[in-house]
Chain A
């Protein structure tokens, strides 16, 4: 429960950054989706139940901060967590290139799912014109901020000690080694 609460607080902090701070400096396409990074991390590192509950709540929070309808990001993030979970069981989740690949695939999957949902359910086909050109910029923005967050997380680990849930991240730390 404490873990879920922690993820929610981090999510709210990220969403405030996305809606109030990033718009002052970055155009919409260059703004990273920090919640997506959190979702990928959840899918990669946390237990399935914790990842699902936290993911659904984070999706609902993001829905409250964007677009007109509740439920879009809830569903999209659920699918991303399930896909991430399935993939990480097949691959070596501790490989750094896999993290980069995961961010790229996550960004692509998120945009495709949003476009699909909006086209099928909301009949806003023109959203494709907004989403498609944004994907490369989104990818670079997500990658850049993921690198910063990863660096901060590894530094943070040094103070808080080893945490067994951090699959894929602990072994990249030079301090801990592989």
Chain B
């Protein structure tokens, strides 16, 4: 018996170790919201380094962009002036809509879901793999953050916090394959679940008969209990209806450009409802 064990000790060790790590992974999958001691220690240790690297790179790129690389500056200036004019016009229209909205809200005693306190945070790191879509922000438990809090940007939903350390937190982006957000189409109020596909989104459980069109805006439905209702998620890019099946195949582009994400807001307050 001992001879047998000695002969196959490498194979046995390999099988035991692989099984142990699979059990560890499987166990941690169940404890999704918990940040382990190891993860907290690593995040705490690395956060100052990542902040420093971020500052140094920001300084270097700032000098490069502002003082050295000025090739397109004149054209950009003209383009920005044109955009500014358009935006001013749109802003005036938006203010009109806002006032109308306030009146209607009072009339219908509608509760504004988005009236919650929010905490600004800076993005200090991205995911270290090519398949997962997460970011690291420079606020953590010391700032009152906890797992599950929604994170947004000016353009829409960014994701939700999945790991927290004292001075940093990891945010699961809506484009991650494991992310699912309850959504509805703003125009038709059709419901669905928005899932991440790396760089874009897919809408699951959108019924075959539902009226979905390219360009429709997807917003959070507020049903998942994480995100407030009405926050922009993405814009529908393609709609396909197969010959069979209950649902449509819909793809969307997120409203937030994650490749240029620098500052985000963490919604820390509870829902007023």
Contacts and interface: CB of A to CB of B under 8 A. Distances in A.
Contact of B25 (A35, A121, A134): A121
B38 interface: yes
| Interface of A (DSSP majority class) | helix
A79 interface: yes
B47 to A, nearest CB: 11
B240 to A, nearest CB: 15
A72 interface: yes
A23 B126 contact: yes
Contacts of B39: 63-64, 70
Given A122-B178, A126-B202, A66 B128 contact: yes
A33 B130 CA distance: 8
B28 A70 contact: yes
B28 A69 contact: yes
Contacts of B132: 66-68
Nearest to A63: B39
Contacts of A61: 42
A114 B131 contact: yes
B25 A75 contact: yes
Interface stretch (A11-19, A148-156, A164-172): A11-19
Given A68-B172, A138-B130, A74 B21 contact: yes
B26 A15 contact: no
Contacts of A15: 46, 128
Contacts of B197: 126, 129-130
B22 interface: yes
B94 interface: no
B125 A72 contact: no
Nearest to B123: A23
A60 B39 CA distance: 8
Given A64-B39, A71-B27, A134-B131, A20 B54 contact: yes
A27 B134 contact: no
Contacts of B125: 19-20, 23, 65
A69 B53 contact: no
A82 interface: yes
Interface string B44-58: 011001100110010
Contacts of B27: 71
Interface in B15-46: 17-18, 21-22, 24-29, 32, 36, 38-39, 42-43, 45-46
B18 A126 contact: no
B95 interface: no
Interface in B198-214: 198, 202
A3 interface: no
Contact of B128 (A19, A69, A78): A19
Residue of A16, A60, A71, A111 contacting most chain B CB atoms (<10 Å): A71
B127 interface: yes
Interface string A105-145: 00000010010011001101011011100100010000000
Contact of B43 (A21, A64, A68, A117): A64
Interface of A: 12, 15-16, 18-21, 23-24, 27-29, 31, 33, 35, 48, 52, 56, 59-72, 74-75, 78-79, 82, 111, 114, 117-118, 121-122, 124, 126-127, 129-131, 134, 138
Given A23-B125, A67-B132, A70-B25, 4 more contacts: A19-B127, A68-B134, A78-B18, A138-B130
29 contacts: A20-B50, A20-B53, A20-B124, A21-B53, A23-B126, A24-B57, A52-B17, A60-B38, A64-B43, A65-B125, A66-B127, A66-B129, A67-B129, A68-B176, A69-B28, A70-B36, A71-B21, A71-B22, A71-B27, A72-B25, A75-B21, A82-B14, A114-B131, A121-B25, A121-B26, A121-B29, A124-B178, A126-B195, A130-B197
Interface of B: 10, 14, 17-18, 21-22, 24-29, 32, 36, 38-39, 42-43, 45-46, 49-50, 53-54, 57, 61, 124-134, 136, 162-163, 172, 176-178, 195-198, 202, 259
